[in-house]
Amino acid sequence: MYLLGVYFSKYYDWCYAFSGRNRRWVGAGLLFSWFLVFCVMASFLPGWMSVLILLAMSPFQGLFMLAFHRVWEKQDQVESGRRNQLWKTKKLLGRFEKLARSKGR
């Protein structure tokens, strides 16, 4: 059981690094392709094999989706913070500009 946890943690670390290195559409495409592969396999294989494949693929897809979500949620928060700071700076500069115009008259 310990070894399984080690493998899952290494896989999660790889997924986290992969999601951070690549663009958002690459990770979303990978998740969608896994879904398509499962649908194709499920349509051609007997039901019991489809269930086994689903049980084998689900933990890895779930870990990838978790890492993908965490990376992009963090990057979205950083980008939102940058936008908010830029908006505040523009607003402050606008106030100083109005103040300079009113004192110059």
- Looking at per-residue pLDDT, the higher value among 79 and 104 belongs to 79
For residue 104, what pLDDT is reported? 65
Question: Buried b / exposed e across 8-17, counting CB within 10 Å, b at 16+?
Answer: eeeebeebbe
- Residues 2-16: pLDDT tens digits? 888 898 899 999 999
Which amino acid makes up residue 51? V
Closest among 60, 66, 59 to 16, alpha carbons compared: 66
Q: Which two tokens stand for residue 18?
A: 């992969």
